[in-house]
Amino acid sequence: MEVFELDMLPESCVSVILSLTSPSDACKSSLVSTTFRSAADSDLVWGKFLPSDYHEIVCDESLQFWSKKELYFHLCNPRLVGDGKMSLRLERWSGRISYILSARELSITCSHDPMCWVWKSIPESRFSEVAELITTSRLEISGKIRTRKLSPNTKYGAYLILKTTKRSYGLDSIPSETSIEIGSQTFKNTAYMRCQDAKKQQLETLFYSNRTHMMKSRVMKGDDSVMTKREDGWMEVELGEFFNGGTCDEEVKVSLMETKGHQLKGGVIIEGIEIRPKT
């Protein structure tokens, strides 16, 4: 019986096969033989792993690259796109897409009012501007993205990226309501933008415990997510999750809202909202 070897396949056929796998598999297959190495480096393979709108990204960024594989690994490092108002990154071994919508790309109630919000540049931000909350009694932040920009058949999480300042106040009195809308579906939850000063939290609880309990009864029951530290030094609050089936292009709207407590709050810096795949 004649034994069939994969090496006998034309390189073009191997490229088609590898394009149906993953970046990780394509890199590993290059060790099999010279035919596989050549196929695994081809534009046909790596073009399949790039975002569907990579042509817009290339025009926007004026990236220099010699192959689609080189472009792919360029995009594995966070890059500013959309006139610098968004950041895009590919997961190196899966190719799944993450986006960060900067504060300037978000809808923030009263963000044009210098009595409520101040726009400024800080060295630790990846974007040219962040929004610092001075004071408000109505906190409403939302962002939008189309599912065609994201990886299909992938579960995503949405996270508000923020920092609290030394003068933060009113952030613990009542949980904010969070929501994710995609198509006709809406997923709701609750979250706290907790300040980092434990003593301040203790004092607010001691003096305002009755009022806090009364205000919290106005808000829907939820998980009350709290801030966690990110690798980049910022903090984040999970706003919810959704599944992108990829069968049609839909708008995803992510929001955080605290309008029922009627108490003043301030001292938080908003960098943006990240939409990233969940493991």
Question: Is residue 4 predicted with pLDDT exceeding 50?
Answer: no
Report pLDDT for 54. 83
Would you tell me how many other CB atoms lie within 10 Å of the CB of residue 234? 21
CA separation for the pair 265, 262 (Å, rounded): 9
Residues whose CB is less than 8 angstroms from the CB of residue 249 and which lie 6 or more positions away in sequence, other chains included: 146, 147, 148
Residues pairing with 89 in the sheet: 98
> Which pLDDT score is estimated for 101?
98
pLDDT of residue 203: 59
Q: d(Cα 76, Cα 74) in Å, to the nearest integer?
A: 6
Q: How far apart are CA 57 and CA 77, in angstroms?
A: 14
Q: With 60 as the cut, is the pLDDT of residue 94 above it? A: yes
Q: How many CA atoms lie within 13 A of 34 on its CB side?
A: 0
The single residue listed with the structure tokens 């033989």 is: 33
3-class SS at 58? helix
| Weakest mean pLDDT among 110-114, 187-191, 222-226, 266-270 | 222-226
| Whether pLDDT at 47 is above 80 | yes
Say if residue 212's pLDDT is above 60: no
Q: Which residue has the higher pLDDT, 109 or 220?
A: 109
Average pLDDT over residues 252-257: 96
Q: What is the pLDDT of residue 197?
A: 55
Considering only CA atoms, which of 267, 266, 242 is closest in space to residue 252? 242
Query: In the predicted model, what is the mean pLDDT of residues 237-262?
Result: 91
Residue 98 has pLDDT above 60, yes or no: yes
Spatial distance between the Cα atoms of 150 and 57, rounded to a whole number of angstroms: 14
Q: CA–CA separation, 124 vs 271, rounded Å?
A: 10
- Report DSSP letters for 226-260, one per residue: --EE-TTS-EEEEEEEEEE--SS--EEEEEEEE-S
- pLDDT given at position 213: 54
Q: What is the rounded average pLDDT of the residues 222-250?
A: 90
Asked if residue 189 has pLDDT above 60, the reply is yes
Does position 64 have pLDDT exceeding 80, yes or no?
Answer: no
Q: Average pLDDT of 6-31?
A: 81
What SS3 class is residue 171?
A: coil
Q: d(Cα 193, Cα 259) in Å, to the nearest integer? A: 14
Task: Return the bridge partners of 163, or none.
Answer: 269
pLDDT at position 1 = 40
The pLDDT tens digits for 110-167 are: 999 999 999 999 999 999 999 999 999 999 999 999 999 999 999 999 999 999 998 8
Higher pLDDT, 89 or 190: 89
